[in-house]
Structures are given as C-alpha cells and as structure tokens.
Amino acid sequence: MAGLNKIILVGTVANDAETHFAVEGTARANFKLGVRTFASGAVSLMNVDIVVWGKLAESCAKLLKAGRMVLVEGALRIRSFEDQSGSRKWATEVSASSLQLLDQKATAAPQSAAVAAQEEEVPDLPEGDLPF
C-alpha cells in the first residue's frame, strides 16, 4: 500500500535558491525555508531544507530570492548519511512538488506559480527579540 506523505509549509526563503544541472540535464534547486512557529508563547525559527526537481527547479533560480514568502507543498524525507569523519548524520528535507509565491513583487514573472490573493499575516517581530 502506498502511503501518504504530504507536508505544507509557509515561510520565507532564507537564501537565494541555487539551481544545479545534473549531467542528464535534470535541474535541481536547493534553498532553506525559514518557518516561524509559536509554541507556548515563544517564537522559534526553524530552517527547513527544500529540494526541487525538474522544470520547477528552473523557475526557482529566477523567482526564489531571499526574503520572499512562499508556500511549499511536498513530501518529508529524512535520510542518514556519513560525514567526513565517518559518523552517522541525519538530514531532513522537503522534496517539493509545488510552490506558490505569497508575496506580490513587481519582479515576479508572469509564469510564476499562481500568486495568492491574500497575503499571509506574519507578525512583525524584530529579529533581536527571538529567544535564541
């Protein structure tokens, strides 16, 4: 039985998306998505690695600049690997199947994923107030 693995995150792009092309020409884009969470009154920021493949990855390079607010939909992947010292490490990433820009910027290309009519309401917190 195929299971269900779906994750939906809204956050701000922490770094400009980097797009790479594999030998076969498949594009892959990586970026970090900063997601703020509110737990017991405290605000915490979580950086989630997002990986995008194919056509979608190509448009990431043009559109996903640091600071943009985006909705990411995809699958949660947790994998282990060995680092240089040979110790086992865990990596968490979201393999995105669709992206939607939530802020409206003049620079957004017309073929960008549908821009949501309503902007996500985000409390304006000065970075210095974050409890970490």
Partner 1 sequence: MYNKVFLIGNLTRDPEVRYTPAGIPVARFTVAVNRIKKDEVDFIPVVAWRRLAEICGEFLKKGRPVAIEGRLQIRTYKNKAGMEATSTEVVADGMQMLGSKPASAPAAGTKAETKEEDIPF
Residues contributing to the site for partner 1 (CB under 8 A) = 1-11, 35-37, 39-40, 42, 46-48, 71, 75-78, 90, 92, 120, 122
Is the CB of 8 or the CB of 130 nearer to partner 1? 8
Residues ≥6 apart with Cβ < 8 Å to 56: 29, 96, 97, 98, 99
Strand partners, 76: 94
Minimum gap (Å) between residue 10 Cβ and partner 1: 4
Beta strand pairing status for 42-53 and 69-82? unpaired
Minimum gap (Å) between residue 112 Cβ and partner 1: 19
On the CB side of 63, CA atoms within 13 Å amount to 23
Minimum gap (Å) between residue 8 Cβ and partner 1: 5
Is the CB of 4 or the CB of 109 nearer to partner 1? 4
Residue with structure tokens 């409206």? 104
Minimum gap (Å) between residue 38 Cβ and partner 1: 9
